[in-house]
Amino acid sequence: MTAISVRNLSIDLGYGLAKKRILGDVGFSVEAGESFGLVGESGSGKSTILRCIARLLTSWEGDIELEGRSIKDMPFAEYCRMVQMVFQDPYGSLHPRQSIRTALQEPLRIHRMDRQLQRMEQALTDVGLNPDFLSRYPHELSGGQRQRVAIARALILEPRILLLDEPTSALDVSVQAEVLNLLAGLRAKRNLTYLFVSHDLAVIDHMCERLAVMQHGRVVEIMARDVLATGQAQDPYARELIQASLEYDQAV
Amino acid sequence: MTASFLSMQDVAMPGSRSNRNSAFHRLLAVIRELLGNPSSGFGFIVISILLLTALVAPLIAPYDPNVINLGQTLQPPSATHWFGTDELGRDILSRIIYGTRISLTIITIVSVIVGPVGLVVGTTAGYFGGWYDTIMMRVTDIFLSFPSLILSLAFVAALGAGLENAIIAIGLTAWPPIARLARAETLTFRGADYISASRMQGASSLRIIVKSIMPMCLPSVLVRITLSMATVILTAAGLGFLGLGAQPPLPEWGAMIATGRRYMLDNWWLVAFPGGAILLVSLAFNLLGDGLRDALDPKQR
């Protein structure tokens, strides 16, 4: 079954002569249980696509379907329980004046779910944190711990699709590996579908089965993970990007 | 059913207790910080004394503030009448002590009107944006473009003289700066990831504004209200002085100065002591507001 299907997604900003195309006819699809990567340089539109799917941006054209249903027709409550998002900056994605308990309880209250305490404790345990963390505030946690709380918050509504907007790029290298392993483990356990945005090809290589390379708001090539190792991409830009990443890895 | 209810209670209790505890600790920390700085410490102490005085006014006032004693008119300050007596022989110290109640009533009611109104107008305008924001901010601009005393004069003239109407008039003129502030604060974090996250979890706009945005605006709004209390006292005194605020025989400080003005040249104490009280209290509120800004500003930590 297709979990995410994006067809002809375009965004234009401005009117008349000042009209500028931010995203042009983007299309890809992600199977259920798959992990799909979006890579590209800064400003290539990866996060914008994620924000369109997350319904945080609304002025786009084209079709976005989740499990075969257009996100524009889906009731919002049902949508929330299907898709959640993990943001890039763990320092900005948790409300600075809300305790972890409030952060985790809010979605449960909104959706009137049962066994709230049990769910909250389970969510923290699942991301490798002690249930004692419930009474803490974000400023009492490290960056890695915050990102784990953000993942717990995203998973507490038991979504089937997780949108990940560079979830590790703000973290230390050692913590990055922990969070990536945690995400990989959670996906295997819960059969989640990931749409993973990153500019780090090594991360994508570790996390995703397929990926799309983006440049200037367009998808230039969709390829399988194996291509990253061989470097035999069809598109010249994609080839250049993979080559540059390989050379960087060797230099480091 | 009972079991689940019991476990719910168990769950709710520790959370609320720890919340109240942490709020109490935060309050203590703020007070300690206020007292640590000489100027805000002065403000805090003066306001505390003002509050105490208002509470126990009947106990500490040496005379009844409204009892006329024509044998004792215009007495200079002495051991029997520390601040002297006015043209009707009333003890000025007692009138000033009772006047704290009027000033505090004005301040409290104005803050209770102004804080929520400014907060609601500002946060909704900042959050929703678009034409709603434009309309709200143009209304705010219109209110801001009048000098507050003139605008309150107009309101009092329309509503009729009296303390209640003065309070309403001051309240109507004092909310725009707070709305502006709350809107500006809201604009800085309405695009933050935690607001996006909360929206993705299905929170309604009302929920986001009340639970996520208002707590972030609250400290700066509190500071702004404290700072504007000084202006409120001055405006109330000004209205009283013009005969449009508190009516005689209420011992309102501004009205006391207004009646004392006629005797001012020979009997300085009629205006000096109420004037000093106004000066002291508005200065204290200004200093306290400045101190609160430092103590509550999360960016300073």
Q: How confident is the model at residue A122 (pLDDT cuts 50, 70, 90)?
A: very high
Contact A227, A201 (CB under 8 A): no
Query: Cβ B192–A92 below 8 Å, yes or no?
Result: yes
CA-nearest residue to B213 within chain A is A95
A76 at the B interface (CB within 8 A)? yes
Query: Cβ B216–A88 below 8 Å, yes or no?
Result: no
Helices and strands of chain A, counted as H and E runs: 9, 10
pLDDT mean across residues, chain B: 85
Q: How far is CA A191 from the centre of its chain?
A: 15
B193 at the A interface (CB within 8 A)? yes
Handedness of CA B149, B154, B160, B165 (dihedral sign): negative
pLDDT tens digits, B199-225:
999 899 999 999 999 988 988 898 889
The C-alpha of A224 sits at a distance from chain B's nearest C-alpha, in angstroms, of 30
A94 at the B interface (CB within 8 A)? yes
A118 at the B interface (CB within 8 A)? no
Q: Among A86, A97, A109, A122, which would you mutate to test the B interface (most chain B Cβ atoms within 10 Å of its Cβ)? A: A97
Residue scoring higher pLDDT (B26 or B179): B179
Which residue from B190, B208, B185 is spatially nearest to B299, judged by alpha carbons?
B185
Question: What pLDDT is attached to residue B8?
Answer: 40
pLDDT tens digits, B16-69:
445 566 778 878 888 888 888 888 999 999 999 999 999 998 888 888 888 888
CA-nearest residue to A53 within chain B is B200
Query: Cβ B11–A56 below 8 Å, yes or no?
Result: no
Select from B193, B198, B203 the Cβ nearest to the Cβ of A92.
Answer: B193
Percent of chain B with pLDDT over 70: 91
Query: Cβ A56–B202 below 8 Å, yes or no?
Result: no
SS3 A86: strand
Q: How far apart are CA A173 and CA A23, in angstroms?
A: 31
SS3 A43: coil
Question: What pLDDT is attached to residue B3?
Answer: 43
Query: Cβ B202–A80 below 8 Å, yes or no?
Result: yes
pLDDT mean across residues, chain A: 88
Residue scoring higher pLDDT (B179 or A252): B179
A101 at the B interface (CB within 8 A)? yes
Select from A88, A94, A135 the Cβ nearest to the Cβ of B18.
Answer: A135
Which value, to the nearest 10 degrees, does the dihedral of the CA atoms of residues A15, A17, A18, A23 take?
A: 80
Which residue from B99, B108, B107, B103 is spatially nearest to B61, judged by alpha carbons?
B99
Q: How far apart are CA A197 and CA A203, in angstroms?
A: 10
Which value, to the nearest 10 degrees, does the dihedral of the CA atoms of residues A171, A130, A100, A208 take?
A: 40
Select from A84, A95, A154 the Cβ nearest to the Cβ of B212.
Answer: A95
Chain B CB contacts of A88 below 8 Å: 193
Which residue from B53, B58, B64, B73 is spatially nearest to B259, judged by alpha carbons?
B73
Contact B148, B174 (CB under 8 A): yes
- Look up residue B69 and give its two tokens: 């004693």
Contact A162, A194 (CB under 8 A): yes
Chain A CB contacts of B202 below 8 Å: 76-77, 80, 107, 110-111
Q: How confident is the model at residue A227 (pLDDT cuts 50, 70, 90)?
A: confident
pLDDT over threshold 80, residue B191:
yes
Q: How confident is the model at residue B164 (pLDDT cuts 50, 70, 90)?
A: confident
Residue scoring higher pLDDT (B121 or B34): B121
Chain A CB contacts of B5 below 8 Å: none
**Residue A207: CA atoms inside 13 Å, Cβ hemisphere, count?**
34
B197 at the A interface (CB within 8 A)? yes
Question: What pLDDT is attached to residue B13?
Answer: 39
Query: Cβ A80–B197 below 8 Å, yes or no?
Result: no
Query: Cβ B202–A77 below 8 Å, yes or no?
Result: yes
Query: Cβ A110–B207 below 8 Å, yes or no?
Result: yes
Chain B CB contacts of A93 below 8 Å: 193-194, 197
Q: How far apart are CA A31 and CA A159, in angstroms?
A: 15
Question: What pLDDT is attached to residue B219?
Answer: 86
Q: What share of chain A is helix, strand, coil (3-state, %, to 5)?
A: 40, 25, 30
Contact A135, A100 (CB under 8 A): yes
pLDDT over threshold 80, residue B274:
yes
Percent of chain B with pLDDT over 90: 34
The C-alpha of A233 sits at a distance from chain B's nearest C-alpha, in angstroms, of 35
Query: Cβ B199–A56 below 8 Å, yes or no?
Result: yes
Select from A84, A93, A106 the Cβ nearest to the Cβ of B203.
Answer: A106
SS3 B217: helix
A153 at the B interface (CB within 8 A)? yes
Query: Cβ A93–B193 below 8 Å, yes or no?
Result: yes
Which residue from B173, B175, B183, B169 is spatially nearest to B146, judged by alpha carbons?
B173
- Look up residue B61 and give its two tokens: 């006032």
pLDDT over threshold 70, residue B231:
yes
> Once rounded to an integer, what is the mean pLDDT over residues A190-214?
90
CA-nearest residue to B218 within chain A is A97
- Residue numbers of B between 216 and 245 with CB closer than 8 Å to A: 216
Of the segments A140-144, B44-48, B297-301, which one has the largest average pLDDT value? B44-48
- Look up residue A196 and give its two tokens: 């993973």
Burial class of residue B28, CB neighbours in 10 A (0-12, 13-18, 19+): exposed
> Once rounded to an integer, what is the mean pLDDT over residues B290-298?
78
Peptide bond into B249 cis (omega under 30): yes
CA-nearest residue to B189 within chain A is A92
Question: What pLDDT is attached to residue B20?
Answer: 61
B2 at the A interface (CB within 8 A)? no
